[in-house]
């Protein structure tokens, strides 16, 4: 793969059919549809990253949701997880609006980019290691092209582990909400519980907790922050 722009990466993601199980699942979901969306045409393809090409903040999830991004064609769009994420980004000043309902709803990100290690919706939200590795070059190329990124927020343990892995962090850092890891290039990785309903409905992740993560990310990504020099973890 030798794309020279995020636009080209997006085109390649949307055209990719390398993982038969994922292709079959995303297309089956798009064909059968959920009753609430039966009159909509699903995207049903790989979902590229979305946001500001000059972002200082990169948000790394897991994979598109079957009836969210797999339906709308934009990361974290059209489901309750996206509602939580983009409201938080709006409160932190990274988004121009709190709503994220469709790819043409006018949402714009400033200083932030949203992506995932796996670009197709997986059955049970669980990609196989082979699917993860097959999809990996897309995330790697996005990271290479987003040259101004200073802070990476990983939503969930999967994204946290994949980001640390790409940067060659050894030993594998322990995931926790609010955990921070110094990365090469004077960057910082911050862990956050995923914005899944499993976490938000149970109170494991609150709006205040999510706001604190993005406030910290904004502080670290500001020109005056000067990066980090050590790993830290939240107090126990």
CATH code, domain carrying 38: 3.40.470.10
> Is 206 a member of any domain?
yes
Instruction: Indicate whether 40 belongs to any domain.
Output: yes
Report pLDDT digits (tens) over 2-14. Answer: 446 999 999 999 9
Indicate if the pLDDT at residue 81 is higher than 50: yes
Query: Which residue has tokens 């797999």?
Result: 70
Q: Is 235 part of any domain?
A: no
Proportion of the chain above pLDDT 90, given as a percent: 92
Q: Is residue 232 situated within a structural domain?
A: no
> ∠ CA 201-202-203 to the nearest 5 degrees?
95
Mean pLDDT of 150-174: 96
In tens, the pLDDT along 12-21 reads: 999 999 999 9
**pLDDT value at 1 more than 80:** no
Closest CA to 155 of 207, 194, 129: 194
Which pLDDT value is given to residue 2? Answer: 40
Q: Where are the alpha helices (DSSP H) in the chain?
A: 6-15, 20-32, 69-72, 80-91, 129-145, 157-166, 197-200, 207-221
Report yes or no on 103 lying in a domain: yes
- For residues 123-132, average pLDDT: 96
88: in domain: yes
Distance of alpha carbon 75 from the chain centroid: 7
Domain span at 152: 6-221
Domain count across the chain: 1
């Amino acid at each position: 793969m030798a794309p020279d722009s995020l636009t080209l990466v997006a085109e390649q993601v949307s055209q990719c059919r390398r993982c038969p199980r994922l292709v079959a699942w995303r297309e089956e979901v798009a064909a059968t549809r959920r009753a609430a969306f039966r009159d909509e045409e699903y995207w049903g393809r790989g979902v590229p990253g979305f946001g500001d090409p000059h972002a200082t903040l990169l948000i790394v999830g897991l994979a598109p949701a079957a009836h969210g991004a797999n339906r709308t064609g934009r990361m974290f769009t059209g489901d309750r997880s996206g509602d939580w994420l983009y409201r938080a980004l709006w409160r932190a000043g990274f988004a121009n609006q709190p709503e994220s309902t469709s790819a043409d709803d006018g949402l714009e990100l400033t200083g932030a980019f949203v992506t995932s290690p796996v670009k197709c919706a997986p059955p049970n939200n669980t990609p196989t290691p082979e699917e993860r590795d097959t999809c990996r070059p897309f995330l790697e190329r996005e990271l290479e092209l987003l040259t101004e990124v200073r802070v990476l927020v990983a939503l969930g343990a999967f994204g946290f582990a994949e980001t640390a892995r790409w940067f060659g962090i050894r030993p594998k850092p322990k995931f926790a909400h609010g955990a921070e890891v110094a990365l090469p290039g004077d960057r910082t990785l911050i862990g956050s519980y995923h914005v899944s309903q499993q976490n938000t409905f149970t109170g494991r992740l609150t709006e205040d907790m999510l706001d604190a993560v993005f406030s910290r990310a904004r502080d670290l990504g500001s020109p005056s922050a000067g990066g980090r020099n050590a790993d830290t973890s939240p107090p126990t």
